[in-house]
Amino acid sequence: MLRAFTARRIAAAAAYGGGGITAIGGVTFGLIVMEAKLARRIIQATPYGDPPAADGVYGEASGGPPLSLVMLGDSTAAGLGVHTPEETPAARLATGLAAIAGRPVRVTNVARSGSRSQALGGQVDQALQTRPDIAVIMIGANDVTGRVPPAESVRHLSDAVRRLRAAGAEVVVGTCPDLGSVKPLMQPLRWFARRASRQLAAAQTIAVVEHGARSVSLGDLLGHEFAADPLSMFSEDRYHPSARGYAAAAAAVLPSMAAALGLEPDLPGETARPVSLAAAEAVERAGTEVSGASVAGADRGRRGRWATLRYPLRRPLRRALGRPLSGGVAAAGALIGALAPARLATRLRTRSRPAPETGG
């Protein structure tokens, strides 16, 4: 209840003006600043150039007019930390979406490393030139590390979602990741980073759903796998995801994209509840989608917009192990290979491999 109340306050401050809330001060703040500088030194010790350019058309063999997918946000949306375009989240999402839609997908990535939510305005200007069918936004981590007031961050995100929706694009937002999972951070910085990033993620969810878009909680996605195998789930800087980490994020976001475009029916959702409560629950379970709902024909109740939670991460496994995707086994194998983490991909490819032919 406390997180829901906090998220609601941040979202309200974003909508009506004000600085939101802050939770750190005094001696504690000084300690955190020192630890943040140390963590930044560790992270920046691994040099990176620009992320691989993923712009282009995917699934051209499918034929037909391509869907337009635009990526907005920070280094996570841009794909910093991997070495080839195919490993970026944009390419993984486009490959999967093309397999589901049975038509090509044209990717335009306007995300930029280091971006805070304030940069979304300019990115939307670029995105609208492509007349996107769907936009994916991943933003928030740099707002937390840059100590941007959460209400200010949410205000910029709200404006971006509103403009994209007004232009006819479907929008899916991957909310702020849980920075408490980043290895170079020590206590108490790790605790405060987790708290701040989860508060921002919940407030982002409220704003996103209010404007008719969907949010997907990235949180500490596959947290147990990250904790057990951080060397393969994080890239060399121990801050940005590796190819496997991006695959996990793409696997969570893709089903929401397909449902938003009407390519797949929505999974049954949990009982509708006020969006602030749904947002607070979503940050506790990475991979959770929050979208708008109605109760007795009404979109809003006494406590605000109605929303429901779904768990898209369950869907790719059922789809891969059940009926084939458009394009048959080959398309299903391409989707699994593009999206599933290594251990799951191996297991699923084994299950979906066709039986050997017999006879002469």
Over the stretch 33-60, which tens digit does the pLDDT of each residue have?
444 444 444 444 444 567 889 999 999 9
Residue 237 falls in the annotated catalytic set: yes
Asked which of 14-23, 111-120, 163-172, 307-316 is least confident by mean pLDDT, the reply is 14-23
Bridge partner residues of 106 (DSSP): 57, 68
Residue tagged active-site, from 113, 115, 133, 240: 240
141: pLDDT confidence band, cut at 50, 70 and 90?
A: confident
Between CA 82 and CA 244 the distance in angstroms is: 10
Answer yes or no: is pLDDT of 346 > 90. Answer: no
Buried b (16+ CB within 10 A) or exposed e, 25-52: eeeeeeebeebbeebeeebeeeeeeebb
Number of H-type helices and E-type strands within the chain: 15, 10
Residue 211 falls in the annotated catalytic set: no
For 275, which DSSP code? Answer: H
Residue tagged active-site, from 74, 75, 133, 235: 75
Greater model confidence, 323 or 111:
111
pLDDT for 116: 94
| Region of residue 5 (left: phi > 0; alpha: psi -120 to 50; beta: else) | alpha
Residue tagged active-site, from 74, 143, 178, 237: 237
Bridge partner residues of 109 (DSSP): 71
Greater model confidence, 17 or 95:
95
Q: Where are the alpha helices (DSSP H) in the chain?
A: 2-16, 26-44, 75-78, 89-101, 120-128, 141-145, 150-166, 189-210, 223-228, 230-233, 243-260, 275-282, 314-321, 328-339, 342-352
Answer yes or no: is pLDDT of 351 > 70. Answer: no
Average pLDDT, the chain: 75
Residue 112's alpha-carbon distances to 179, 244, 249, 251, in angstroms, are: 19, 21, 18, 22
Task: Count CB atoms within 10 A of the CB of residue 140.
Answer: 31
Average pLDDT over every residue of 6-15? 52
Average pLDDT over every residue of 255-283? 90
pTM of the predicted protein model? 0.77
pLDDT for 188: 57
Residue 240 falls in the annotated catalytic set: yes
pLDDT for 42: 43
pLDDT for 304: 85
pLDDT tens-digit profile of 260-273? 999 988 877 888 99
Answer yes or no: is pLDDT of 114 > 70. Answer: yes
